[in-house]
A and B are shown apart, each in its own frame.
Chain A
Amino acid sequence: MQLESMYQEIILDHYKNPHGRGLREPFEAEVHHVNPTCGDEVTLRLHLEGDTVADVSYEGMGCSISQASISAMYDLVLGKSVTEALATGEDFMTLMQAKGDPTVAEKLEDTLEDAVAFAGVSKYPARIKCALMSWMALKDASARALATTNPGGTP
């Protein structure tokens, strides 16, 4: 059984009891992302207070990996600056490209917290995009929110 390496207990917990789920107001940007090969979907709203991620609210449907990833992301980015949140997203991307290399996961453990449990997913190329969908949506929403709150300028 290699399944446990992908479906860590933390992932299944996030899947069964997602954190921050539901669409809330206020928000500066709302995006809808789909995974066209499998039909996974997420609608994500981002609320900024100044440069700080004040809320990420979402609705989605999809597999355990895609849904747990959103929940873990919610915990990670709340209260961070947009720059920090996106940097965390880059770290998560690095984890997904690690092909199961445990040294990569060890290095990222402090920044990714629960999300480091997704390390096992990186051994299954077909599932990586499931885990990344939420982070792509957040990146998209950040760009849109900043364009709304800070027209013509950079953060």
Chain B
Amino acid sequence: MNAIGWPNWRRLNQEGIVFAIAILLFAAAALGLPGFLTADNLVAIVRSVSVLGILALGMAVVIIGRGIDLSAVAIMAMSVAWYLQLLNTGTSDGLAFVYVLAGVLAIGLLNGFLVAYADVPAIFVTLATGSFVFGYVRSQLITQDAVPVPGGHWVELLGGVRFLDIPVEVFVFAGLAFLVFLFLRYTKWGRFIYFAGDNPVAARNIGVPVRPMLVLRYVLSAFVALIAGLLTAASLHSINTRIVNSTLLYDIVLVAVIGGIGLSGGRGGVRNVLVGAALIGILLNAMTIIDIPLLYQNLIKAAILLGAIIVDGIINPRDEQTAQQGDI
């Protein structure tokens, strides 16, 4: 990678490979599939991966810092389900939103504290908090899987917001991507994430506040999940907590990893998420147009993830330091 952030084409890395595949697929679909290369369909592609991409942005920040957040989907669905349930049972909007913000903050802090200060591996912490959030909200706070948005509420209106006929989630995705890009590249704390992800001990020795920053990343990821959940509810006029049982969580990791963000931490950025999301979006859209049954779609997607992980292993070999410290 050179100074202005363009990929270095002479040394083909995973991001380059995936980007090339995405371009090839795009070209093939544009030539072979009628109706693929229309403005509406292109917008639909971006929109279909917007929520996924937003979640992947949060996940990317966590992974770059050598962590993982498996509670993202649970936080996304359950926070919004609880919010809508509060609204449906007559809690005032402001109060309900404060409750939910506090809840999301608490879970982010809990994730961060357990990983940073209790030294429990992130994969176990977030797996547990994800199950906890789902179980607690599902059993104690809401009465059924699907919670509708009350008629006329701002979440419902949000779903109808269009600018130049482009749905609102596309702009939110673009905006968040830009913000995360600025954060990672131009802020001190953003740069520190790379140091901490690459070598936490060395980062600590040079005076980087490694632990508070770890907490911050999980809090960020939780808030990003809340935004993704609100956008989902805005579009569908309801939120279904069954999504926690779906493959969405793996899709988020898929988008981040396939774009070239190494699971061993310290590598990658927003561009990798965009490349990963582009490939998945084009792939799913093309497969839907061709009418490939879901079973095969999942098989193709899984094969690509497996391929990406293998390529990642070859291109970003585990160095001495990773082998000693371990990754997630």
A and B interact: no
* B residues adjacent to A (C-beta < 8 A): none
